[in-house]
Structure 1
Amino acid sequence: MCRLFGLHTGAQPQTCSFWLLNASDSLSEQSRRQPDGAGIGTFDPNGKPHLVRSALAAYLDPEFAIAAQALTGTSFVAHVRFATEGELSVANTHPFEQEGRMFAHNGVIRSLNVLDRELDRRDATSLVLGTTDSERYFALLTSYLREFSGDVVQALRACLTWLAQNVSLYCLNCVLATPQEVWAVRYPDTNPL
């Protein structure tokens, strides 16, 4: 299973290099077991998402280390991938960006044909640029964010409820970030934090 990282630093921009590179179980170290891509995202001072993604394992990718040391911000999302859906490519590497938000997922969603029909019904198919279940999950969440005028709590509840009732899944763990806030979801609680 993939590994997720979310951080909000408060008002002062920071780096997140300790957790991504230097901690004993850093994301870079975890990528030795999750080798199918890595990415880091934050927001620039104007609130625009900035993503650095690669289909390489973080521990093999010098760009991951450079970005972990150089990127500063108040909200971060990072991810190391163990692919369960979609080929190894930058397009399928987390975090994803949609409508000014960043997202990463750890889990498995099956019944993608059912999810694809719902994305089409909700006019959200164009948000999906790759082939992962994760990006489809984010597109569904983005469609609910549109419906609920950006209210993240309502959108997450509606999205998680729809997924739990309509598709086969292992888990929907995710991190969602804006320049001001970071949310984390653990559903269901099948694995320890």
Structure 2
Amino acid sequence: MCDLLGISCNEKERASRSLPLFANLYSDDNPHGWGIAYFDGARVVVKRDTGKARKSNKFEEIWNKVSSRNFVAHVRRKSQGEENVLNCHPFKNKLMDRELMFAHNGTVYDVRRNKPVTIHKNACGGTDSESIFFEMVDYMRDYMKAGRIHGLYPALIYAIRKIFKRYTRYITLNFLMSDGSMYYAFNHYTSAPVYMLRRKPGLGKPSDSSKRAILFSTKKFTNENWVKIPKDQLLVVNNGEII
């Protein structure tokens, strides 16, 4: 399986504590690639490569230099799709006038047709994860164009329900998604749930007293108070605070 790390902050951060620790601990179990996505203004920037994150100079350069309020990181153990950059998470897509970043942990299989998920026509790689993301965005776009309740949250709930209706609830579907403002975390993988950590203000330097952050991960990679996200609950965070 793969592993996820997500970070939502109220101020721009370099994530120079969490990203290297996550990579050092879990790259050996997930040796087939890595990726980091973050927002630069309203634009999603995605950096990916094959191999182990902890051995990558490119990965180190990112966490040393890049600052953002929202990060998604992923280390890959391939289950579908070859070992190449296009199959590394995170992925990005556009919905109406906003960009989205997304990473998935789990496997989506077309149970009813007894075959792997059909690769989405707009996908660049060959993974179920990217195709499911693109399919979800299609459903969200349909929802918004139909004039239903406004907002990304109800559109995403609608998309999740459509995915379950098509592929059944036997799939495993953990994901992290952000539009640069709101951050969404979803847990549907009993044996590998998503955990949340609320970083309190005032930890570290006195100047940090106003800073807050929420972390998501499929691993409790520190000794802090990680809490499992309830199954099938879509959690929404903004600037390091639960909505």
TM-score by length of structure 2 reads 0.68
- Of residues 27-36 and 48-57 in structure 1, the stretch that sits farther from structure 2 once superposed is 27-36
Cα distance in 2, alignment partners of residues 28 and 108 from structure 1: 24
Counterpart of 1:16 in structure 2 is: 15
Counterpart of 2:122 in structure 1 is: 127
What are the residue-to-residue correspondences of 1:86-165 with 2, within 5 Å?
86-99=81-94, 100-111=99-110, 115-116=117-118, 125-149=120-144, 151-165=151-165
Change (3 A) 1:147 1:110: same
Superimposed CA distance per residue, residues 106-136 of structure 1 (whole angstroms, 9 cap, x where no aligned partner): 00011286853xx8xxxxx443111000001
1:153 is displaced (CA, Å) by 2.3
Cα distance in 2, alignment partners of residues 74 and 143 from structure 1: 26
User: Which of 46, 50, 59 lines up with 2:54 in the alignment?
Assistant: 59
1:51 aligned counterpart, secondary structure:
strand
Which has the larger Rg?
Answer: 2
Superimposed CA distance per residue, residues 39-79 of structure 1 (whole angstroms, 9 cap, x where no aligned partner): 0111113x111111001110121101111221111111110
User: Which of 55, 58, 67 lines up with 1:72 in the alignment?
Assistant: 67
* Cα root mean square deviation, aligned: 2.1
Equivalent pairs counted in the alignment come to 181
Cα distance in 2, alignment partners of residues 157 and 140 from structure 1: 13
- Structure 2 unaligned regions, length at least 5: 145-149, 196-243
Cα distance in 1, alignment partners of residues 36 and 125 from structure 2: 17
- Structure 1 unaligned regions, length at least 5: 120-124
Considering fraction of residues, name the structure with more strand. Answer: 2
TM-score by length of structure 1 reads 0.85
Report percent identity of matched pairs. Answer: 27
Change (3 A) 1:29 1:161: same
Q: Is the Cα contact below 8 Å between 2:139 and 2:162 reproduced in 1?
A: no
1:171 is displaced (CA, Å) by 0.8
Cα distance in 2, alignment partners of residues 140 and 174 from structure 1: 14
